[in-house]
Amino acid sequence: MKINWIENILYPKVFLNRRKATKYFQGKTILITGASEGIGKACATILSKFQVHLILVARSQEKLEEVKAIATQNNSTASIYVTDLYQEQQIDQLIEYIHARQMTIDILISNAGKSIHRSLTKSLPRYHDFTRTNMLNYLAPVKLTLALTPLLSQQKGEIINISALNVLLPPAPHWAAYQASKTAFDQYCRSNQSEWKKMNVKLKTVYLPLVKTEMIAPNDRYKNFPAMQSSEAALRIIKLILGTGSYSRPWWSPFPITIGFFIRKIWDKF
């Protein structure tokens, strides 16, 4: 009850203008990575109300079929492409599939991701934590955006980077693998932003706070933390696509960003 009250303040409800959304999205092809559950599934569910074509990417065929069924029920169409984004070869196959069918892509929602919360001591024998988070959170989306830039450019399309608020905060203990990989992709995107603009490709980034999905489920400490619902996160993502801004973050984020900056200054002195 108490958390609900805090959540309502931290994450006020957002609403979509349905008519504007239909006008904007109708007939568009939208590729969503990590579409089988969590935030990706919530984006697919809402977007499917606007008669779009969805290309749904993740590893779980069964869950993707469920999302496809929702899209069809909502009068949209969907193709599913089962891909393990840890595997470069499978990313190449996805790219080939798109090119072979001469698909157009209007919007790429780069959402698939993996989070790891682990101390340095526990990470010592776990180099693979870093290769895996880097592959999924950084290198796979780099490979996809490089390959899809010409298609997005033809369509005057958009790349939506589903990032995390902790990318904007100072580095935090136990988050090295996750924070480094998410920051790497954010830097890559921001570095390319002006060149994408010249190619008629817009970059938009959503710096999400904690969202109630499977990603945070293994971490007991988050059970009582105020967090956003995945549908609310998806609404914010879609609102950003519809709006003119290039990024979105929670209204209160300037406070931890500023406090973090000063704490870092003090911390570094010791």
Q: Extract the tokens encoding 60.
A: 């779980």
Angle at 85 between CA 199 and CA 231, to 5 degrees: 80
Between 130 and 153, CB nearer to ligand NAP:
130
> Is residue 40 at the binding interface for ligand NAP, with CB under 6 A as the rule?
yes
C-alpha 74 chain-centroid distance: 23
CB of 216 to ligand NAP, least distance (A): 5
Q: What is the dihedral of CA 83, 111, 223, 262, to 10 degrees?
A: 140
> Is residue 84 at the binding interface for ligand NAP, with CB under 6 A as the rule?
yes
Scanning the chain, the segments in alpha helix (DSSP H) are 2-10, 18-25, 38-47, 61-73, 88-100, 120-123, 127-134, 140-154, 176-198, 230-242, 254-269
231, 46 Cβ separation under 8 angstroms: yes
CB of 59 to ligand NAP, least distance (A): 3
Active site annotation includes 86: no
DSSP code of residue 162: E
Binding residue (CB under 6 A) for ligand NAP from 30, 71, 85, 152:
85
> Is residue 226 at the binding interface for ligand NAP, with CB under 6 A as the rule?
no
Catalytic residue among 178, 207, 222, 247: 178
Between 136 and 159, CB nearer to ligand NAP:
136
Binding residue (CB under 6 A) for ligand NAP from 58, 152, 189, 241:
58
Q: Extract the tokens encoding 135.
A: 């592959």
Restricting to residues 179-198, name those near ligand NAP by CB under 6 A: 182
> Is residue 220 at the binding interface for ligand NAP, with CB under 6 A as the rule?
no
Binding residue (CB under 6 A) for ligand NAP from 16, 22, 74, 86:
86
C-alpha 228 chain-centroid distance: 14
Binding residue count for ligand NAP, defined by CB under 6 A = 31
Restricting to residues 97-156, name those near ligand NAP by CB under 6 A: 111-115, 136
Between 183 and 192, CB nearer to ligand NAP:
183
Q: Extract the tokens encoding 216.
A: 């945070």
- The H or E element containing residue 107 is strand 107-110
CB of 83 to ligand NAP, least distance (A): 6
Residues 6+ apart with CB under 8 A from 183: 167
Q: For strands 107-110 and 158-164, give the pairing.
A: parallel
> Is residue 60 at the binding interface for ligand NAP, with CB under 6 A as the rule?
yes
Between 51 and 118, CB nearer to ligand NAP:
118
- Residues found near ligand NAP in the complex (CB under 6 A): 34-40, 58-60, 63, 83-86, 111-115, 136, 162, 164, 182, 208, 210-211, 213-216
* Catalytic annotation, residues: 178
